Amino acid sequence: MRSHDTIAAIATPSGTGGVGIIRISGPAAGKIAHQIFLPKRTNCSWESHHLYHGDIISADGRIILDEVLVALMLGPHSFTGEDILEINCHGSPLIMQAILSELVQSGCRLARPGEFSQRAFLNGRLDLSQAEALASLVAARSETACAIGLAHLKGALGREIESLRLELIEALALTEASIDFTEDLAARDTPGILPRIDAISERLRLLLDSYQVAKLYTEGLNVVITGKPNVGKSSLLNTLTGKKRAIVTDIPGTTRDFITDQINIRGMPVNLADTAGIRKPQDMIEKAGIDLVWENLAKADLAIIILDGSHPLTREDTEIFAAIATNNYLVAINKTDLPSAWEINEINQLLPGSKILKISAKFGTGIDELKNAIVDNTGTDKKESTGVVMITNMRHKLALEKALSNIQSVKENIVAGMSPEFPAFDLREALDNLDEITGKKIDDEILDKIFSSFCIGK
C-alpha cells in the first residue's frame, strides 16, 4: 500500500522530558527533512538510518526552533515501510508543538492514534497480532505482561497461528481430495483425518487456556480484603502496599469506602481492595459501603477473609464464612502478636480444606507467606512453565473460540459419517477465523477500530 499523505505526531508522552521524539512517515518525509533541517556540517549526505546534528528552522529560515538530532529512514526498511523522519528534539511541550506546527505548515497531516502501526501492518511490516502486541507492550503493567507482548511482537503468536493454518490446510486438502475423486464416500474414510483434527483442537484449546493466566499478568488479580469491623483489614492493605493508604483506628466501622491500590507479587499485578467491615449496618452510609463489598466480592478473583486471633470468633465471622464459602478465598488470622483467644481447629470445621495463614498486619509478620499464598492460589506457575504461547487479547480469544467450535463441528460431521463437503466447509471457516488474528482476512472497519485504541505516535 502506498499512502499519498505524510503524517506526523509527537511519539513521546505529553509533558516535560529530557528528549522528545517527533515522527513523520510518508512520501514527503525526505523533502520535509531538507526543508526544515539545517545540518551543522555542510556535507550532510542524508544516508538512511544515520543520525545528523543540526537545527530545526522555521519555513522562512529566520527562526531556529530547536537544536536536534534527526534520522531519515528510507522505506521499505523502516517501521512503517514508508520513508520516516524522526526528530529527537528537547523534551519541552512548547518546542515539540512548535515543530509539529511547522511540519503541518510544510504539508504533513496530524497522525491518528495507531496510524504508524496501521501503515506498518498495511505495508506487510507486521502482522496484526504483532501490531497489537506493540500496543499491549506499551501498556504492560508487569514483567510477564512485557515478556508476552515482546514474544508476540517477535512473531510468536503469528508463527503458532501460521503453523495451525498449515495443519488446517493439510486437513482440508485431504478432505477435498476425497470430494474430487470418490463418490458416495464419507469424510471418516479420509485416511488419518481424525487424529489430525484432534491434534488441531488440542492446540487451539491450549492457546485458549493460556488466556486466563495471561489475563492475570496483564490486567492483574483482583483481591478483596474482607471480614468484620476492626479485624485489621485496613492495616493489612497498608502493610501490603507499604503506604498509609487507608485510615486505621480502633473504632469499628472506620472504613466505609472501597479503597484500592496495586502491588506486584512475583511479577503479577495484584489489585487490592480494602472494604467496609461486614456487620449489621448502623447507618445509611455504612449500609452503602457494605453493599459495595458484596458486589465486589462477587467479581473478585480471590477474597482474603481476616479474623481477629486475639478475640473470640463471633456470629459476624461465621456469617461471613457462610456467605463466602462459594468464592475463592484464603483465611488470614490477624493480630497473632497478641495472645490467641481461640484455636485454629474452630474454623477448620466451618471452612474445611481452606488455606489458613497467621499474620500480624501491624508488625508485618507472615506477610511474605500471605503474598506467596495469593499468587500460589492462582496456580499460574505450573501453567506458565508449559512454554505455550499465551494469548492476552480478547479479540484473539474470540477468534480462537470460533475456530475451535468449527473444528468441533468438523469432528462431529466426520463421526456422524457425513460426506466430506461438510467438514471441508467448517475447515474453511476455521481458517478464516485464524486469519482474523493475523489480519490476513479482516474487515477494514474492525481494523480501524483496533488501531484507534492505540496511542498517538505509535
Ligand X SMILES: Nc1nc2c(ncn2[C@@H]2O[C@H](COP(=O)(O)OP(=O)(O)O)[C@@H](O)[C@H]2O)c(=O)[nH]1
For residue 398 the three cell numbers come to 474470540
- Which of ligand X, Mg ion, none interacts with 229 (beta carbon under 5 to 8 A by kind)? ligand X
Dihedral angle of Cα 453, 455, 456, 457, to the nearest 10 degrees: -130
Q: How do beta strands 7-10 and 109-110 pair?
A: parallel
CB of 316 to Mg ion, least distance (A): 14
Site string for Mg ion, 216-245 (x = CB under 5 A): -----------------xx-----------
Residue number with CB closer to ligand X (253 or 457): 253
- Residue 258 C-beta: closest distance to ligand X, Å: 12
304 binds ligand X (CB under 6 A): no
Q: Which is nearer to ligand X, 203 or 335 (CB)?
A: 335
Work out what residue 408 binds among Mg ion, ligand X, none; the CB cut-off runs from 5 to 8 Å by kind: none
Shortest spacing between CB 250 and Mg ion, in angstroms: 11
Burial class (CB in 10 A: 0-12, 13-18, 19+), 292: middle
Q: Which of ligand X, Mg ion, none sits in contact with 55, Cβ below 5 to 8 A by type?
A: none
Query: What is the smallest separation between the CB atom of 255 and ligand X, expressed in angstroms?
Result: 5
- Name the minimum Å distance from CB 263 to ligand X: 17
Give the x/- contact pattern for ligand X in 186-225, rule: CB under 6 A.
----------------------------------------
* Residue placing its CB nearer to ligand X in the complex, 253 or 420: 253
Strands 221-226 and 51-57: what pairing?
unpaired
Using CB positions, name the residue nearest to Mg ion: 255
Q: Does 309 bind ligand X (CB under 6 A)?
A: no
19 phi and psi, to 5 degrees? -130, 145
Residue 136's binding partner among Mg ion, ligand X, none (Cβ under 5 to 8 angstroms by kind) is: none
Here's the x/- map for ligand X, 219-258, by CB under 6 A: it reads as --------x-xxxxxxx------------xxx---xx---
Q: From the list ligand X, Mg ion, none, pick the one residue 182 interacts with, judged by a Cβ distance below 5 to 8 Å according to partner type.
A: none
Contact 191, 175 (CB under 8 A): no
Does residue 255 bind Mg ion (CB under 5 A)? yes
Site for ligand X in 59-88 (CB under 6 A): none
CA 361 to chain centre: 32
DSSP letter, residue 340: P
**Of 254 and 405, CB closest to Mg ion:** 254
Q: Which three cell numbers stand for residue 382?
A: 505450573
CB-wise, 196 or 233, nearer to Mg ion? 233
* 277: phi then psi, degrees, rounded to nearest 5: -70, 140
Structural element, H or E, at residue 224 = strand 221-226
Comparing CB distances to ligand X, the nearer of 70 and 231 is 231
Question: Which residue's C-alpha cell is 510468536?
Answer: 156
Question: In this structure, are residues 157 and 392 in contact, taking their beta carbons and an 8 Å threshold?
Answer: no
Q: In what order do the strands lie in the sheet with 64-73?
A: 37-39, 51-57, 64-73, 84-91, 17-25, 7-10, 109-110
The b-or-e profile of 188-219 (16+ CB within 10 A means b, else e) is eebeebbebbeebbebbeebbebbebbbbbbe
- Could you tell me which of 445, 408, 412, 422 has the C-alpha nearest to residue 208? 408
Binding-residue total with Mg ion (CB under 5 A): 4
Least spacing, CB of residue 272 vs ligand X, in Å: 13
Total chain residues near ligand X (CB under 6 A): 21
- Applying CB under 6 A, which of residues 338, 344, 416, 446 lies at the interface with ligand X? 338
Q: Which three cell numbers stand for residue 195?
A: 487424529
Q: Containing H/E element for 104? A: helix 93-105
Between 7 and 370, CB nearer to ligand X: 370
Kindly report each contact of residues 368-376 with a partner whose C-beta sits within 8 Å and lies 24 or more positions away, as own/partner. Answer: 370/240, 370/304, 370/330, 370/332, 371/240, 371/265, 371/266, 372/265, 372/266, 373/330, 374/221, 374/223, 374/265, 374/270, 374/302, 374/304, 374/330, 375/221, 375/265, 375/266, 375/268, 375/270
Q: Applying CB under 6 A, which of residues 90, 141, 266, 362 lies at the interface with ligand X?
A: 362
Q: Which of 36, 361, 431, 434 touches ligand X (CB under 6 A)?
A: 361
Tell me which residues in 311-340 interact with Mg ion (CB under 5 A): none
User: Of 369 and 429, which CB lies nearer to ligand X in the complex structure?
Assistant: 369
Query: Minimum distance from CB of 225 to ligand X (Å)?
Result: 8
Is residue 82 within 8 A of residue 32, CB to CB? The reply is no
Q: Are 272 and 300 in contact (CB under 8 A)?
A: no
> Of these, 125, 335, 396, 458, which contacts ligand X (CB under 6 A)?
335
CA 400 to CA 209: how far, in whole Å?
A: 11
CB of 286 to ligand X, least distance (A): 12
Contact residues for ligand X, defined by CB under 6 A: 227, 229-235, 248-250, 254-255, 277, 334-335, 337-338, 360-362
**Which residue ranges make up the site for Mg ion (CB under 5 A)?**
233-234, 254-255
